[in-house]
Amino acid sequence: MHTWVQTLLKPEPVALMVVLILLVSLFSGMRRGASGSAKHLFFFIWQAIAVIASLLLAGRGSVYLSPLVRDWLVERGIAVPKEELSALKQLWYTVVTSLRDFELLRFGVLFLLLYSLLRLALHALEPLLFGLADALLPNRSTDVRRGGGGSQLLSGTASRTTGAMIGALLGSGRAFIVMACLFVYVSVLPNAFGTDMIRASALYNKTASELLDPVAGDVLKRGPVISDAVEAEFRRVLERKYEVIDAAIPPDIEAAAAAVTKNSTTDEQKARALYDWVGTRIAYDWDKANDYVDRGVWKEQSPTDTFASRKGVCIDVARLYAVMARSVGLDVRVVTGVGLTGDGGSGPHAWNEVKLADGGGAWIPLDATWASSGDWFNPQGFANTHIREA
């Protein structure tokens, strides 16, 4: 106990925050008195039980429902129409196909939905429980104690003292929740803002090592992995957005792709012919890139715009390639990540992957944007310069 008090009294941000929570709760309990503080403690315990129960049930429910929802969506045979779609339809098909194909996203959506429904259901029980608490716990003006030959009102001092003690207990619970939130934050986002300050706190380290680590076990030690997985899933949804937006293939682009691949007989030959055509016909738009880097101005353009202007940045080139490849029957996707130039430079980048259905179903990478600097059609070491984030 003495060591806990010592760490609590050290003048650092986390300890000061906990001391403030304890003091506010203590004085609030003193002001409310014994019965008022007891009711607040009852409400606090109920809320904690409701949150924990909702989290556990939502987690188990999501694990059970996720494959059922996936199978149901697959059975619906949802396919993106090959036509111009309104913004609302683009959003609909992006969301529905992402829920069907991306497991982590589907689990997350189900978890949030189930958790919200469970919290609403438990919230509906609160009037009954709080009414019961009002009936069992006397009002502040009728606090009583048993003693002597009968009942007599608790003195104001005794009531306030009891209330302060209950308030301190309630403050300890609140402080523990705050420390648990900091523990989750540091575990899941170890390099985020403020984590160094939190880890420098003696009180946080003592709480984490003696109370939180044994409870969390190995779950939160995988926090960075979970965080990276969530980020990757988000990027996959963004890539799916391009697939939905570019589902309609303009006739002029379709005709050009057919002409480019007319002498190709295999998927690899088609993919290579389109790579050569796009890589030599579409110039890099340095003005657009500089506008974004220097002034934060982004000009969105469709594959039709890129095809007509014959210029664009990496995402524009990748989207045009994808549309042309799909028009000749290839399965292709736009990939986003980081490009490494080899001279120490790096930055956000986009390229493509094509599935060779007649070659064993392998996916091969290619980067038509970089075609002018070498052969980037499925070369050795492609993954060393293109760091895929989804």
Whole-structure pTM value = 0.59
| 85 CB neighbour count, 10 Å cutoff | 18
Residue ranges and CATH numbers for the domains of the chain are 2-143+154-227 (no CATH), 250-388 (3.10.620.30)
Nearest of 285, 229, 267, 256 to residue 103 by alpha carbon: 229
Nearest of 236, 237, 240, 258 to residue 249 by alpha carbon: 258
User: Beta partners for 311?
Assistant: 283
**Comparing 25 with 276, which gets the higher pLDDT?**
276
Residue 157 pLDDT: 78
| Confidence band of 102 (pLDDT split at 50, 70, 90) | confident
- First-to-last alpha carbon distance for the chain, in angstroms, is 49
Question: Among the ranges 155-169, 343-357, 374-388, which has the highest mean pLDDT value?
Answer: 374-388
**Comparing 126 with 277, which gets the higher pLDDT?**
277
pLDDT of 143-157, one tens digit each?
Answer: 444 444 444 445 577
Summary mean pLDDT of the chain: 82
**Comparing 344 with 227, which gets the higher pLDDT?**
344
Residue 141 pLDDT: 46
Using a pLDDT cut of 90, give the percent of the chain over it. Answer: 28
Retrieve residue 62's tokens: 């999501």
Mark out the alpha helices in the chain (DSSP H runs).
2-8, 13-75, 87-101, 103-136, 156-188, 195-199, 202-207, 213-216, 223-245, 251-260, 267-281, 286-295, 303-309, 314-327, 382-385
